[in-house]
Amino acid sequence: MHTGRAATRALLTAELGVTRATAGAVAAELEALGLILVDTRPAGPSGAQGRPSHRLDVAPGGPVALAAQVHADGFRAALVGLGGEIVATAPGTMTVPADPAHVLGAVVEAGARLLRDSGRVCVGAGLAVPSAVAEPEGTALNPLHLAWPAGAPVREVFAAQIARVGILGPDGEPVPSFVGNDVNVAALAEHRHGAGRDAQHLLVVASGHRGVGGALVLDGRLHTGSSGLALEVGHLTVLPDGRPCHCGSRGCLDVEADPLAFVEAAGRAPGPEVSLLQQSIDLLQQEYADPSVRAAAQVLIDRLGRGLAGLVNVLNPDRILLGGLHRYLLDADPEALRAVVADHSLWGRSGGVPVLACALDHNSLVGAAELAWQPVLDDPLAVLGV
Ligand SMILES: [Zn+2]
């Protein structure tokens, strides 16, 4: 139901590999928990043998997860229902101060307003941050484009704000809190609901407001390494004599293929009125005829393609998704980017790895909600049957 593979009771029966009676009992149980609606009057051919089957729909007004995202320019809160659907969202612009409690308090309050207005049950809260998140501590290890100190205990602070604002779950206690890296959770969302569906080894590379992030979904699970810090693809060297990077190296993807690098390559000054990401997208979409913009796009495509080729050689993914600035570079010249990847990778040359754009709006928010939905997906009765 959550990934859209069981639109009818017959499909549910097939997906679960159980008898029709068992699938019927499961559907009735999920309906009793307020998660889904079972159409009582079957119509239309949709069963495995062309027999009419009961339609299953996500219940309108059903439970939601509170999703929160913090980025260099502020935050966004959202409510996300079963099926990964955003049912309400609210942005907030602010300079993020050093104490994480400020922005996390603001985003939780925005989420609480959305919950009040919707009247829905909340199953949990998930937060996406532009930093590697160390596990099991839940600390933001390198929030480089925020003023937060390295190692800020974001999960603890987020949970404290949830408790302070009084966001309660079905059991009357503050809802559980989860935190993940924004690109990691975006990859999870794309794998379940977007352009990454059915990929076995899904590589996602994206550049939001600053820096470059990556994620790998292996057989449906995020690969986060031994302590949550895998896939720091931003620190692949793509230009040995390039600009210095905050990691101590030079010419990293992080500083050579993000929106600031693009704006500078196009000979423009960063404008204060819009974010660097929006400025970059505007240049690509509205001024691509300008030779300096076109040349900058080719420079960035070359750097990004070399980085992707290195990752293809190491990881052998069966699909690559690009997000943020990178999906707009792909849109600008898909053949050029795919050619650079193919020219510099062993597996890319032989078979070709599909390089596609991320498909979901706000995929980090949907992914943050995935973290909060997971306990319900694992055991609906334990969370909602209280
Ligand atoms: Zn670096």
In a domain, 4, yes or no: no
Q: How far is the CA of 17 from the centre of ligand 1 (A)?
A: 48
pLDDT-derived band at 181 (thresholds 50, 70, 90) equals very high
Query: Do 255 and 212 belong together in one domain?
Result: yes
Q: Which residue has the tokens 């997860």?
A: 65
Q: Are 93 and 118 in contact (CB under 8 A)?
A: no
β-strand pairing of 201-207 with 319-324? parallel
Q: Are residues 121 and 35 in the same domain?
A: no
End-to-end CA gap in the chain: 22
Is residue 266 domain-resident?
yes
Q: Are residues 68 and 151 in the same domain?
A: yes
Q: Report pLDDT for 208.
A: 84
268 and 148 together in one domain: no
* Whether residues 103 and 241 fall in one domain: no
Q: How far is the CA of 226 from the centre of ligand 1 (A)?
A: 21
What's the gap in Å between 193 CA and the centre of ligand 1?
Answer: 31
Which pLDDT does position 386 carry in this prediction?
Answer: 77
Q: Are residues 220 and 335 in the same domain?
A: yes
Task: Name the 3-class secondary structure at 18.
Answer: coil
Mean pLDDT of 283-295: 97
Q: Answer yes or no: is pLDDT of 49 > 60.
A: no
Centroid of ligand 1 to alpha carbon of 244 (angstroms): 8
Question: Residue 140 is part of a domain; what is its CATH number?
Answer: 3.30.420.40
**Per-residue pLDDT at 290:** 97
Among the listed ranges 39-48, 81-90, 245-254, 372-381, which one has the minimum average pLDDT value? 39-48
In a domain, 189, yes or no: no
Mean pLDDT of 83-104: 94
The residue among 90, 92, 137, 93 whose CA lies nearest residue 113 is: 90
Burial 172-196 (b: 16+ CB within 10 A, else e): eebbbbbbbbbbbbbbbbbbbbbbb
Q: What is the sign, positive or negative, of the torsion defined by CA atoms of 284, 289, 291, 292?
A: negative
Contact 80, 86 (CB under 8 A): yes
Residue 350: what pLDDT? 59
* pLDDT classification of 351: cutoffs 50, 70, 90: low
Quote the strand ranges of 27-105, DSSP E.
Answer: 36-38, 56-58, 64-71, 74-81, 86-93
pLDDT at 274: 81
Q: Which domain holds residue 107?
A: 64-184+363-384
Q: Is the Cβ–Cβ distance between 66 and 122 less than 8 Å?
A: yes
What is the Å distance from ligand 1's center to 171 Cα? Answer: 45
Residue 43's pLDDT band, with cuts at 50, 70 and 90, is low
User: Ligand 1 mean position to 132 CA, how many Å?
Assistant: 14
Ligand 1 geometric centre to CA of 82 (Å): 38
Ligand 1: centre distance to CA 7 (Å): 45
Q: Express each pLDDT in 241-253 by its tens digit.
A: 999 998 899 999 9
The pLDDT score that the predictor gives to residue 142 is 84
Q: Look at residue 14 and tell me whether its pLDDT is greater than 90.
A: yes
Q: Is the pLDDT of residue 45 over 70?
A: no
**pLDDT score of 245:** 93
Are 368 and 353 found together in one domain?
Answer: no
pLDDT for 347 equals 67
d(CA 247, ligand 1 centre) in Å:
4
Distance 134 CA to ligand 1 centre (A): 18
Q: What pLDDT is stored for residue 180 in this prediction?
A: 95
What per-residue confidence (pLDDT) applies to 228? Answer: 82
Distance 150 CA to ligand 1 centre (A): 16
Residues 72 and 180 in one domain: yes
Q: Is the confidence at residue 85, as pLDDT, over 60?
A: yes
* CA dist 317 → 137, 219, 349 (Å): 29, 11, 13
CB 205 within 8 Å of CB 326: yes
Evaluate if residue 383 carries a pLDDT over 60: yes
CA of residue 233 to ligand 1 center, whole Å = 9
264 and 213, same structural domain?
yes
Cα(148) to centroid(ligand 1), Å: 19
The predicted model scores a pTM of 0.93
Q: Based on the structure, what is the number of domains in the chain?
A: 3
Per-residue pLDDT, averaged over 49-60, amounts to: 82
Do 333 and 327 meet the contact criterion of CB atoms below 8 Å apart? no
* Residue 190 placed within a domain: no
Instruction: Identify the pLDDT of residue 352.
Output: 80
| Diameter of the chain measured on Cα atoms | 68
pLDDT at 170: 94
**Residues 25-32, mean pLDDT to the nearest whole number:** 95
Residues 26 and 73 in one domain: no
Q: Could you give the residue ranges of the DSSP H alpha helices within the chain?
A: 9-16, 20-32, 100-118, 154-165, 182-193, 253-256, 259-265, 276-286, 291-315, 325-332, 334-343, 346-350, 363-378, 380-384
The tens digit of pLDDT for each residue in 296-345 reads 999 999 999 999 999 999 999 999 999 999 999 999 999 999 999 999 98
**Is the residue at 293 inside a domain?**
yes
Judge if 25 and 88 occupy the same domain.
Answer: no
Domain shared by 343 and 211, yes or no:
yes
The pLDDT tens digits for 182-217 are 999 999 999 999 999 999 999 999 998 888 999 999
- d(CA 232, CA 334) in angstroms, rounded, equals 24
Ligand 1 center to residue 169 CA distance, Å?
41
User: 60 versus 271: which is more confidently predicted?
Assistant: 60
Whether residue 43 is contained in a domain is answered as yes
- Place 51 in a pLDDT band, splitting at 50, 70 and 90: low
Query: Is residue 47 scored above 70 in pLDDT?
Result: no
CA proximity to 119, closest of 33, 57, 60, 61: 61
In the chain, pLDDT over 70 holds for what percent of residues? 96
pLDDT score of 209: 80
Which of 150-154, 272-276, 345-349 is modeled with the greatest confidence? 150-154
